[in-house]
Amino acid sequence: MSGGRKLRVSPIVVDAVLTLLVLGTVELMVYVADDPGGRPATPLAYALGALLALPVPLHRSRPMTSLLLASLLMTVYYASGAPGFSPIWVLGVPLFSAVLAGYMRWSLGITCFFFGYGYFAVINRGSTPVAALAIFIQQWVLVAVVILLAEVVRSRRALAAETRERLRMAAEEKEREAARRAAEERVRIARDLHDTVAHGMATITVQSGAALRKLADRPADDPVRAAVAAIRASSKESLAQLRAALGLLRGDEAGPAAPGLGRLPSLVDAVRSAGQPVEVEVSGTAVPLDAATDEAAFRILQESLTNVLRHAGDAATARITIDYSGSGVRVEIADDGPGDAQGHSADPSGGGHGLVGMRERAESLGGTLTAAPEPGGGFRVVAVLPAAPAGSAESTGGVLQGE
């Protein structure tokens, strides 16, 4: 066939052809039968011969029913005294399917019964045992060929099924091995991160604490003391979050809760302590957010405020707007700074990974995120995130009520 396509024949067509072949063969055997002592062919013999083909269509779906029905009809045919012929032409197809289905003992028993009955019937009608054996030996060979062929096909199918099962188990084992290696790689990454980043953050926390002790005699509103306190608080929080992330990489089940909008005031205070003015406005009725949405909103605010600190300039003001009026929460962060040559205000596509990561967070929850420079200067990030479904067991109360 062109294109390597194989010709597939419907099983119904195959069974119809087999039925016609059995029917034609049986009628021919009735016509040419020269059984000693048998009756000549009559219309009844041809009619009974035609009935012998009825079990063939059942051989595929009900092999044992087909074999037993063929045996019953053969018994009726022989009892009627019609011209005798070898039962292999009637039992061949049902016998093959029965052996293929695993009914070897029943198949052998039924076949031996009919051929034994036929052998002694021929002897009873005047034939010698040797002559009867010569008549039946060829038919016995045909029966053996049918049984052996069916057994070979059954064995090959069983082998193919076993091979498929082994391949499936091998694929599963390969997936488990890949998962194990990935887990080991995560542990290695966690260890490396802990040895580098976590050590650095811990050092910053310790040194900022020492600096605060040196500045203990200064007023509480001293900008230097406030800045050092903000550095220490931010480093402690970052260290806790880093350890929580490392715990997930190591496969720890428990760990600190992920941050949410409830921690926005402390984030805003830290940014203000760094000298960046921040305004916060909350509108609408606060709705419970599921943990993933709550964390995503906080992370988007955190990343946007970090970009403001890096690129907007000290004279810029960051404006945060949180709106609960829709079916979810709308988070907006805008600044009026000019932006530097490499800053986010000059690069709406987000050349770094910050804007890409924020957009991926929003889209993974079914939300949207847009980020672009303002026409009159500055930069604006708008994220629309869905709220938790009503009655969600994972909803959290970490919503911002206002400031």
| Predicted TM-score of the model (pTM) | 0.46
SS (H, E, C) 350-369: CCCCHHHHHHHHHHHCCCEE
228's CB contacts (< 8 A; 6+ apart) are: 208, 211, 212, 215
CA distance 322 to 284: 8
Whole-number pLDDT of residue 165: 93
Find the farthest-apart pair of alpha carbons in the chain and give their distance in angstroms, rounded: 133
Which pLDDT does position 175 carry in this prediction?
92
Looking at residue 187, its pLDDT comes to 76
Q: What is the model's pLDDT at position 342?
A: 38
pLDDT digits (tens, 9 = 90+) for 126-180: 677 787 777 778 878 888 888 899 989 988 988 999 999 999 999 999 999 998 8
| Interatomic CA distance for residues 343 and 247, integer angstroms | 33
Per residue, the 3-state secondary structure of the chain, as one string, reads CHHHCCCCCCHHHHHHHHHHHHHHHHHHHHHHCCCCCCCCCCHHHHHHHHHCCCCHHHCCCCHHHHHHHHHHHHHHHHHCCCCCCCCHHHHHHHHHHHHHCCCHHHHHHHHHHHHHHHHHHHHHCCCCHHHHHHHHHHHHHHHHHHHHHHHHHHHHHHHHHHHHHHHHHHHHHHHHHHHHHHHHHHHHHHHHHHHHHHHHHHHHHHHHHHHHHHCCCCCCCCHHHHHHHHHHHHHHHHHHHHHHHHHHHHCCCCCCCCCCHHHHHHHHHHHHHCCCCEEEEEECCCCCEEHHHHHHHHHHHHHHHHHHHHHHCCCCCEEEEEECCCCEEEEEEEECCCCCCCCHHHCCCCCCCHHHHHHHHHHHCCCEEEEEECCCCCEEEEEEEECCCCCCCCEECCCCCCC
Instruction: Yes or no: say if 36 and 127 are a contact pair by the CB < 8 Å rule.
Output: yes
CA 266, CA 105: separation in Å to the nearest integer? 82
For residue 38, give the amino acid letter.
G
Q: What are the Cα distances from residue 21, in Å, to 27, 116, 135, 178?
A: 10, 26, 23, 56
- Model confidence pLDDT, tens digit, residues 35-85: 655 567 788 888 988 898 999 999 888 998 898 898 888 888 877 878 878
Core vs surface per residue 76-85: b (16+ CB within 10 A) or e: ebbeeebbbb
- Looking at the DSSP bridge assignments, the partners of residue 323 are 283, 330
Of 289, 273, 187, which Cα lies nearest the Cα of 234? 273
Consecutive sets of 10 residues in the chain, 403 residues long: mean pLDDT of each? 62 88 88 67 86 90 89 84 81 89 85 80 74 78 88 90 92 91 80 70 76 78 77 75 68 62 85 83 83 88 86 84 84 81 42 75 89 87 76 46 46
| C-alpha to C-alpha distance for 247 and 255, rounded to whole angstroms | 7
The pLDDT, as a whole number, for residue 319 is 92
